[in-house]
């Protein structure tokens, strides 16, 4: 396998902390007036903190293309959503036709940057698995229109899955849903709502969390008193147990400094899928687990052992 891709930007909740630091980093909130201001900012500005789509500063305008990484067989798409938004997406075909399999990977990224920053990941996946890859850009990110929130991203995810189901060259393929951090929460929700269709053959989760509310105290302890004000839930701990028939791979970076590794451990524990696989990356941090030795080997083994048998059956 070629050199591992550089670590892509992921859902960096440090951004949430730095954005809130002006009013949350206080030894004690001594004034009820300050408490009101702080809680108001957390409530009304949390979407900007949770979905930092302008990081880096040119993330909305500078979206790398697959051709910059030597990929030639791809399409740059704009996919309409049912509620009137337009989602930028990249459809990448397998470069080695001899390895080509009837699998399409649907990729959901973390909460910063854009899909162009994750192209090296898609490239390794298509090269090693012989699969199609659809990289979907959430609303309000990169070249997609709209403003992100939990309801909107849920619609976006379903739009991406429906696109695969309707596209001629992918509608008969089995689908593997892959999510990093925030993308893991998006993926869990999507799979739970679609497992009965029978076309989702696998779910891959990397460094994702129990819920947004449980992430807030971990990222910035002084904000724990305001966690109840969070209206972006992404309650994966409640949704994941509903997935029973889809094989799931858990990839946990044990040195994740953003999402406590205990979140992944707890998700694995409560998972009720009859086929769940746990793999750790001992030196993996939140943003660089993808560069750790064994990362793509774990994915390859999971697809060969858990996904392909269901494709052939």
Select which of 117, 144, 149, 181 is catalytic.
Answer: 181
**Mean pLDDT score of the chain, rounded to an integer?**
86
Confidence band, pLDDT 50/70/90 cuts, at residue 97: confident
**Lowest mean per-residue pLDDT among 7-11, 126-130, 252-256, 307-311:** 7-11
* 256 in active site: yes
- pLDDT at residue number 261: 97
* Residue at 237 is within a domain: yes
Q: Into how many domains does the chain fold?
A: 1
* Residue at 159 is within a domain: yes
- Of 99 and 219, the structure prediction assigns the larger pLDDT to 99
**Lowest mean per-residue pLDDT among 42-46, 83-87, 216-220:** 42-46
Cα-Cα-Cα-Cα dihedral sign, residues 101, 180, 200, 78:
negative
Is 49's pLDDT higher than 70?
yes
- pLDDT at residue number 195: 96
The closest of 170, 191, 27 to 108, measured between CA atoms, is: 191
* 245 in active site: no
Residues of the chain with pLDDT > 70, as a percent, come to 82
* Residue at 59 is within a domain: yes
The Cα–Cα gap between 312 and 293 comes to 29
* Residue at 293 is within a domain: yes
Is 276's pLDDT higher than 80?
yes
Select which of 109, 117, 263, 286 is catalytic.
Answer: 286
Confidence band, pLDDT 50/70/90 cuts, at residue 48: confident
Alpha helices in 68-181 (DSSP H): 119-129, 150-166
Select which of 10, 109, 156, 256 is catalytic.
Answer: 256
Which pLDDT tens digit goes with each residue over 114-136?
A: 999 999 999 999 999 999 999 99
Which pLDDT tens digit goes with each residue over 212-268?
A: 989 877 776 666 666 676 778 899 999 999 999 999 999 999 999 999 999 999 999
- pLDDT at residue number 224: 62
Confidence band, pLDDT 50/70/90 cuts, at residue 19: very low
The whole-number average pLDDT for the span 265-286 is: 97
The whole-number average pLDDT for the span 145-150 is: 97
Residues of the chain with pLDDT > 90, as a percent, come to 73
* Residue at 145 is within a domain: yes
Q: Which long-range contacts (CB under 8 A, 24 or more apart) does 216-222 make?
A: 216/16, 218/259, 218/260, 218/263, 219/13, 219/14, 219/16, 219/17, 219/258, 220/16, 220/17, 220/20, 220/21, 220/24, 222/24, 222/25, 222/26
Which pLDDT tens digit goes with each residue over 185-213?
A: 999 999 999 999 999 999 999 999 999 98
* Residue at 2 is within a domain: no
User: Are the beta carbons of 161 and 190 closer than 8 angstroms?
Assistant: yes
Q: What is the value of pTM for the model shown? A: 0.86
Quick count: other Cβ atoms within 10 Å of Cβ 75? 12
* Residue at 207 is within a domain: yes
Phi, psi of 158 (to 5 degrees): -65, -35
- pLDDT at residue number 46: 78
The Cα–Cα gap between 201 and 236 comes to 19
Range of the domain at 123: 14-312
Which pLDDT tens digit goes with each residue over 107-118?
A: 999 999 999 999
CATH code for the domain in which residue 79 is found: 3.40.50.1820
- pLDDT at residue number 50: 86
* 102 in active site: no
């Amino acid at each position: 396998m070629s050199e591992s891709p550089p670590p892509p930007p992921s859902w960096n909740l440090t951004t949430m902390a730095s954005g809130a630091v002006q009013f949350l980093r206080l030894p004690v909130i001594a004034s009820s007036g300050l408490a009101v201001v702080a809680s108001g900012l957390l409530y009304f500005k949390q979407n900007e903190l949770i979905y930092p789509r302008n990081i880096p500063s040119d993330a909305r305008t500078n979206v790398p293309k697959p051709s910059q990484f030597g990929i030639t067989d791809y399409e740059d798409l704009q996919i309409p959503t049912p509620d009137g938004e337009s989602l930028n997406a990249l459809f990448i075909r397998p470069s080695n036709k001899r390895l080509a399999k009837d699998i399409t990977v649907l990729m959901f990224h973390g909460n910063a940057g854009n899909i162009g920053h994750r192209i090296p990941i898609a490239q390794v996946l298509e090269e090693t698995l012989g699969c199609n890859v659809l990289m979907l850009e959430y609303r309000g990110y990169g070249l997609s229109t709209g403003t992100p929130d939990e309801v909107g991203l849920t619609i976006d995810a379903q739009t991406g899955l429906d696109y695969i189901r309707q596209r001629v060259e992918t509608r008969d393929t089995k689908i593997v849903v892959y999510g990093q951090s925030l993308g893991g929460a998006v993926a869990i929700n999507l799979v739970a709502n679609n497992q009965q269709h029978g076309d989702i053959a696998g779910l891959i989760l990397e460094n994702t969390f129990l819920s947004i509310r449980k992430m807030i105290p971990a990222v910035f302890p002084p904000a724990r008193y305001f966690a109840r004000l969070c209206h972006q839930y992404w309650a994966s701990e409640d949704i994941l147990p509903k997935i029973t028939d889809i094989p799931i791979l858990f990839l946990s970076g044990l040195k994740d400094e953003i999402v406590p590794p205990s979140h992944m451990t707890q998700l694995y524990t409560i998972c009720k899928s009859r086929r769940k696989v746990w793999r750790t990356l001992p030196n993996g941090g939140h943003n660089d687990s993808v560069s750790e030795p064994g990362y793509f080997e774990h994915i390859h083994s999971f697809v060969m052992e858990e996904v392909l048998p269901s494709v052939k059956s």
